[in-house]
Amino acid sequence: MPETKIIRIGIIGSGGIARAHASAYKKIPNVEIVAVADSMEGKAQAFIDKEELHAAAAFEDHLKLLELDLDGVSICTPNFAHHETSVNALNAGKHVLVEKPMSVTLQQSIEMVEASRCNDKMLTVGFQPRYDPNMALIQEIVQSGQLGKVYFVETGGGRRRGMPGGTFIRKELAGAGAMADIGCYSLDMALNALGYPKPLTVSAYTSNYFGTNPKYHKEAEHFEVEDFGVAMIRLEGDIVLNYKISWAMHMDTLGATMFLGTDGGLKVTPAGSGPWSGVWDGSVGSMSLYHDVANQNTQTSIPVIQHGLNLFDEKVKDFVNAIQYNRPAPIDGGEILYNQAIIDGVLRSAASKREVTIELP
């Protein structure tokens, strides 16, 4: 039996989500976390101690970490640093798993994909909801032809109260608010089901009436991003996508994800209850098919696949497997570019109060 190669991993950014990465890597027998970098003094070493990664080296400068012999790197920095750290890691010959959203601007994502292609290293984006088997089911239903020609899709959702703070609300660190933070998952669900058609134009509105109001947010004075947004996006293939997200609102729901086709419609509701629910994050509450049977309007309930998977662990495991077996990126940055293009278009359109065109390479 050939000896199993040890996959050597580095983690850049050692805040909240890095813990979920470390926990997932630790469950995989042939993985070693070799180094952790965090730009805040002492933070990487504290993380190493807390996570008991005793063999790992600590760095403040991620470039020092990238000098090591590593197979892959998890990028767990705030959004603004995804671009620089990913490009540097790819140029240093490491495979990259970058947290969501992919970047702040479309141009940054384009450069990340270019670095991946030039260096022949994978760039995968951390959309763990993809590992819910219901995602594959939704895709199968939409692509089976049962809906006929799909002409309209609505996705997104809304939390009644669910605004984060810290790095998530500062423009220079996060780049965008709810539309990128929680919205990128529902965009991925819709676009993945449709086969990731090219986005062509975006007309968007965003606001932040809740985040900037001290009555609703204790960090209101630092709140610089959108807590609500709505956009109409034209997609290749004459499909219109209505995309809406809220971190906070005076309403119970912003509705379900819906695919309208000439022969049928599919409605998907997110699971969960309470003020932080109402937005797709990888857990399906219900799925219904609306169609005609013998000319009768019919609603068929599609059983939701129950699974005991830890979706986060699955995404990290898949990254490691792709490295080990030399497979393509599980959630390819080249595809997620379209997701980022929409978020970039939302921000441009909301700022200019006009429809904008999406220019893709």
Ligand X SMILES: NC(=O)c1ccc[n+]([C@@H]2O[C@H](COP(=O)([O-])OP(=O)(O)OC[C@H]3O[C@@H](n4cnc5c(N)ncnc54)[C@H](O)[C@@H]3O)[C@@H](O)[C@H]2O)c1
User: Please, what is the minimum distance in Å from the beta carbon of residue 248 to ligand X?
Assistant: 18
Per the listing, tokens 């008991």 go with 52
Buried b vs exposed e over 308-328: b needs ≥16 C-beta within 10 Å?
eebbbbbbbbbbbebbbeeee
Q: Which is nearer to ligand X, 73 or 356 (CB)?
A: 73
Q: Which is nearer to ligand X, 191 or 239 (CB)?
A: 191
Q: Which residues pair with 12 in a beta bridge?
A: 37, 75
d(CA 343, CA 279): 17
Q: Do 188 and 130 touch, CB atoms closer than 8 A?
A: yes
User: Please, what is the minimum distance in Å from the beta carbon of residue 296 to ligand X?
Assistant: 42
User: Please, what is the minimum distance in Å from the beta carbon of residue 255 to ligand X?
Assistant: 23
Q: Which is nearer to ligand X, 158 or 164 (CB)?
A: 164
d(CA 111, CA 137): 32
Question: What single letter denotes the amino acid at residue 173?
Answer: L
CA distances from 200 to 42, 59, 243, 297 (A): 45, 42, 14, 34
User: Please, what is the minimum distance in Å from the beta carbon of residue 174 to ligand X?
Assistant: 7
Q: Which is nearer to ligand X, 153 or 174 (CB)?
A: 174
Tokens of 327: 């497979």
DSSP string, 83-137: HHHHHHHHHTT-EEEEPSSS-SSHHHHHHHHHHHHHHT--EEE--GGGGSHHHHH
Q: Which is nearer to ligand X, 62 or 348 (CB)?
A: 62
Q: Which residues pair with 125 in a beta bridge?
A: 98
Q: For residue 347, give every residue at least 6 positions away whose Cβ sits within 8 Å of its Cβ, in sequence order, or none.
A: 176, 179, 204, 206
Q: What angle do CA 332, 152, 140 make, to 5 degrees?
A: 50
d(CA 308, CA 282): 13
User: Please, what is the minimum distance in Å from the beta carbon of residue 59 to ligand X?
Assistant: 8
Distance from chain centroid for Cα 73? 17
User: Please, what is the minimum distance in Å from the beta carbon of residue 49 to ligand X?
Assistant: 15
d(CA 134, CA 178): 24
User: Please, what is the minimum distance in Å from the beta carbon of residue 196 to ligand X?
Assistant: 19
User: Please, what is the minimum distance in Å from the beta carbon of residue 94 to ligand X?
Assistant: 14
Which spans of this chain sit near ligand X (rule: CB under 6 A)? 12-18, 37-40, 43, 62, 76-79, 81, 85, 99-100, 126, 128, 166-167, 181
Q: Which is nearer to ligand X, 85 or 258 (CB)?
A: 85
Q: Which is nearer to ligand X, 14 or 192 (CB)?
A: 14
User: Please, what is the minimum distance in Å from the beta carbon of residue 37 to ligand X?
Assistant: 5
Q: Taking the chain, what is the end-to-end CA distance rounded to the nearest angstrom?
A: 46
Q: Which is nearer to ligand X, 75 or 268 (CB)?
A: 75
Nearest residue to ligand X, by Cβ distance, number only: 15
Q: Which is nearer to ligand X, 17 or 302 (CB)?
A: 17
| β pairing state of 57-59 and 228-235 | unpaired
